[in-house]
Amino acid sequence: MSNPVSQSSNTSSPQVIVCADEASASRKVADMIVAAVNAKPSVVLGLATGGTPVKTYANIVEDFRAGKVDFRNVTSFNLDEYIGLSGTHPQSFRHFMELQLFNHINIDPSKTFVPEGCGDDPAAHAAEFEKRIADAGGIDLQLLGIGHNGHIAFNEPGSSADSRTRVVGLTQSTIEKNARFFDSEDEVPKTAITMGIGTILEAKQIVLLATGTGKAEAIRLSLQASPSDDVPASWLAKHPQVTFVLDEAAASELA
């Protein structure tokens, strides 16, 4: 059972929903996404990768197979992609999305946008990605995870609240955390294309999912410290409609 908790330390007050465990938190976020699609069949979704949303995507696929949701008119934009990995690379985020979600629902592949990691001009591609989001009418619901250092997408500490889609360098801590997905740490790309914090904050609704004690400190700083470049997720407190969905472990350091 989920338990809404009010956080009022920052200028705005993000809604915080604490669920018993990872499974129920993932189910809660899947329900929110399915509800958004059913309310607006042409909804524009912002999607995340990594280990955190895997169970959420599995729940969405289950709902689709049960006839509870239809994605044929949905458009999606992913947050980020590694520079140097093609969409067919097994560790690319395009491949992740196809494996976890796109190949199992009836979304139009031409409406699934993931930054291109192997383009000739990544900076120009980043600008084009921004334009595509604007041309789609903006993102209606943006799903986020959070890094152990408070990063959202690949906006590492030091990223400003007005940053846009761009090429970024990854911190050593992020490279080390992501090494589990590769054969060795040396294989982890050192740069990526990411939506900026300013881009993310323009979404009409934001849902951040975090599970596990490893995310507890980042969650505490994001919700209870003043917004700053040091903790990129703390800028979410400036958004008028943001929800943190946590399991009890991720919420364990909250006052």
Distance CA 67, CA 55 (A): 19
Condensed to tens digits (0 to 9), the pLDDT of residues 17-43 reads 999 999 999 999 999 999 999 999 999
Condensed to tens digits (0 to 9), the pLDDT of residues 171-183 reads 998 899 889 889 9
Structural domain count of the chain: 1
Note down the domain range covering 100.
Answer: 3-242
Which residue, 99, 22, 36, is CA-closest to 73?
36
- Whether residue 12 is predicted with pLDDT greater than 80 in this model: the reply is no
Q: What is the CATH number of the domain that holds 16?
A: 3.40.50.1360
203 CB-side CA count, 13 A? 29
Domain presence at residue 104: yes
Domain presence at residue 46: yes
Measured from the Cβ of residue 45, the count of other Cβ atoms closer than 10 Å reads 21
pLDDT value of residue 255: 83
From residue 94, how far is each of 80, 217, 239 by CA, in Å? Answer: 9, 29, 28
Domain presence at residue 32: yes
- Whether residue 9 is predicted with pLDDT greater than 50 in this model: the reply is no
pLDDT value of residue 59: 98
Distance CA 220, CA 175 (A): 23
- Whether residue 6 is predicted with pLDDT greater than 90 in this model: the reply is no
Mean pLDDT of 183-212: 96
Distance CA 204, CA 201 (A): 8
Domain presence at residue 255: no
- Whether residue 166 is predicted with pLDDT greater than 50 in this model: the reply is yes
Catalytic residue positions, numbered: 80, 149, 151, 156
Domain presence at residue 145: yes
Domain presence at residue 27: yes
Condensed to tens digits (0 to 9), the pLDDT of residues 32-71 reads 999 999 999 999 999 999 999 999 999 999 999 999 999 9
Domain presence at residue 17: yes
Domain presence at residue 56: yes
Distance CA 66, CA 96 (A): 23
- Whether residue 193 is predicted with pLDDT greater than 80 in this model: the reply is yes
pLDDT value of residue 177: 87
